[in-house]
Each structure stands twice: as structure tokens, then as C-alpha cells.
Amino acid sequence: MRKHLIPVLLISATLGFSGCTAINEVTATSAGVKLLQAATISDEYVQQISADYIKQLDAQNEIANGSNPYATRIERLTRSFNNKDGINIKVYLTPEVNAFATADGSVRVYSGLMDIMTDEELLGIIGHEIGHYINHDTRDAFRNALVTSAVRDGLASTGGVVGALSSSQVGALGEALSSSRYSRKQESEADDYGYEFLKQHGINPWAMAIAFEKMQQLDSSSSTAPGLQQLFSSHPDSAARAQRMAQKALKDGYSRPSNTSGGSASSGSGAAASTSNEWTF
């Protein structure tokens, strides 16, 4: 039985977490609290809180490890870049369809997403999430959530140094993060990063377009799996994004693989989701 899954921010979707003892507490009196501004929050602070944050999130969810089929699949697909350059990728065992990145370079993929994506499509989505990290979208979203949430009222800022979060403030931050959204420009840039990510790994970038088609199909379906968190629920118009990725692939001289015309989003045994024999890596 899987552990309770906390709502999470894709920074492509939603991120939330509950306070735990590993996050140091600070008692900030009203006299010591100043109006918090984004400029007072250093990159180092955001990265540290993000690292604490993902540690607690991991503790609240069941992670695929060892010989688990999801773990072996993600290891096979990501071994050339996982745990390098600040990136760390793990799988949460849950039927929900989602993935997200945080400001410390963590990428978490839900097994429900793996159930409906081929290897190439899954790598495109992982590339998209890495793009949000590389482009500092995750850092900026986290910083803005700190500024706009009730957390700011409990953070001490003395000489430009922001205090640690208390356990009660963590929940307030989660609420702010859950409503965070990337701009259309940020989403397009992350899409482009995922597209180029596939090309760099020798994969037909049509996979990016097909992944969006599947999400669009899920979005319009009335029979989606219980508990589904749609991967691009905060990303408007998946159909338009699929079309843009398809146009890029055609312009670059790539043909759509012949066995992908339907873009089926049917759920199956995701640990062994099909891989097109036209694509190798």
C-alpha cells in the first residue's frame, strides 16, 4: 500500500508539503519581521530550502527502489545524466499522472505517468522538467511563493538574511506553491528544452508532440484513472503545444513514426511501456 501522496507542484503542476522536524524552526517576533521581498532571498537559500523540501516530500511518498520495475526502467533511461550536474531523478509509486521539478535539481516522476508513456515520450517530459530547472523557472517560482504566501509574515529578514521556516509555515508555503503557474514563455522554453534534449540523446523529437497529444486526450477523457493529476493541468492548450512541437520536428526533417498515429493514452503496465522499434538510444 502506498503512503499518502502529498499534492505536488509540477512546477509544471502543483507542489505541496507538510512541515517536518528536519526543517529547522525559527521563532520570529513581530519586531524582527520585515516586509519580505524577492530580492532578499538568495539563490543559496532557495536551493537549501528546496533540498529540505524534497527530502520531506520523499519521506511522505513511496519511492521505487532496487529491483522494482519502475526503478529499473528509470535507471536504464536516465543513467547517462541522473545524479550529475545537480540533477536527481526518482519515481513515486502512485497511479496519478504527473511529474515535477524543484529548485535544487530534483525531478520526481509518478509511476502513473510511466504507465502511459513510451520511453521516448517519458524522456521528453523529463527533459521538459529539467528545462524548468536549467532555466531557473523552479527557483523563481519558489522564491515568488515565499514572497506571496503567509510564510513571509514569519520570516525574519535581518541584514538581508532570511530566516528558516517553521513547521507551520511550511504548510502555508505549500498552499502558495500549489497555485503557482509558469508563464507561457517559460512553458514554451521548457518545451523547446525537452525537444532539444531528445535530439541530443538521439531520439526522434516527435516524441515530445506525441506526449502532449496523450495529455490532451486525457484532458478530454471522461474515463481517466481515479486520482489522476493531469500532467499539464496548469499548462493551457496541450493541443497547440503538440502542434508546435510537431511543426518543429517536420521543419527539422523528422518524420512521425508510423506506429504512433493514434497517440493513445491508454494506461497499461507502465514499467514495461512500449518503445518504438524505430527509435533507439
pLDDT reported for residue 188? 94
Tell me the C-alpha distance between 228 and 91, whole Å. Answer: 16
Model confidence at 278: pLDDT above 50 = no
Residue 256 CA, chain-centre distance (Å), reads: 26
Tell me the C-alpha distance between 164 and 250, whole Å. Answer: 49
Q: Which pairing describes strands 106-110 and 88-92: parallel, antiparallel, or unpaired? A: parallel
* CB proximity list for 120: less than 8 A, separation 6 or greater: 198, 203, 204, 207, 275, 276, 279, 281
Give the mean pLDDT of 39-55: 80
The residue ranking higher by pLDDT, 210 or 276, is 210
**Helix/strand/coil (H/E/C) assignment for every residue in 219-236:** HHCCCCCCCCCCCCCCCC
- Active-site position among 129, 187, 189, 213: 129
Give the mean pLDDT of 123-129: 97
129 is annotated as an active-site residue: yes
- Taking a C-beta distance cutoff of 8 angstroms, is the pair 115, 272 a contact? no
pLDDT interval class at 41 (50, 70, 90): confident
pLDDT reported for residue 219? 72
Residue 191 CA, chain-centre distance (Å), reads: 13
CA atoms within 13 A on the CB side of 168: 8
pLDDT digits (tens, 9 = 90+) for 191-233: 999 999 999 999 999 999 999 999 888 877 644 444 334 344 4
Q: Which pairing describes strands 99-101 and 106-110: parallel, antiparallel, or unpaired? A: antiparallel
Model confidence at 271: pLDDT above 70 = no
- Taking a C-beta distance cutoff of 8 angstroms, is the pair 17, 174 a contact? yes
Q: Which pairing describes strands 99-101 and 157-158: parallel, antiparallel, or unpaired? A: unpaired
pLDDT reported for residue 148? 74
Which amino acid is it at 248? K
User: Could you tell me what percentage of the chain is helix, strand and coil, using 3-state DSSP and rounding each to the nearest 5?
Assistant: 50, 5, 45
Q: If you ran DSSP here, which 8-state letter would residue 1 be given? A: -
pLDDT digits (tens, 9 = 90+) for 71-89: 999 999 999 999 999 999 9
Angle between helices 184-200 and 238-251 (to 10 degrees): 40
Highest mean pLDDT among 25-29, 178-182, 263-267: 178-182
**Share above pLDDT 90 across residues of the chain, in percent, rounded to a whole number:** 43
- On average, the pLDDT of the chain sits at 74
Tell me the C-alpha distance between 281 and 198, whole Å. Answer: 10
pLDDT reported for residue 35? 45
pLDDT reported for residue 159? 43
pLDDT reported for residue 158? 41
pLDDT digits (tens, 9 = 90+) for 132-190: 999 999 888 888 877 777 666 655 544 444 566 665 666 566 666 666 778 889 999 99
User: At 158, phi and psi to the nearest 5?
Assistant: -120, 115
Q: Which of 110-114, 192-196, 237-241 has the lowest mean pLDDT?
A: 237-241
Helices then strands, counting H and E runs in the chain, come out as 9, 5
67, with CB counted inside 10 A (0-12, 13-18, 19+), is exposed
- Taking a C-beta distance cutoff of 8 angstroms, is the pair 193, 201 a contact? no
- Taking a C-beta distance cutoff of 8 angstroms, is the pair 5, 96 a contact? yes
DSSP 3-state of 122: helix
pLDDT interval class at 264 (50, 70, 90): very low
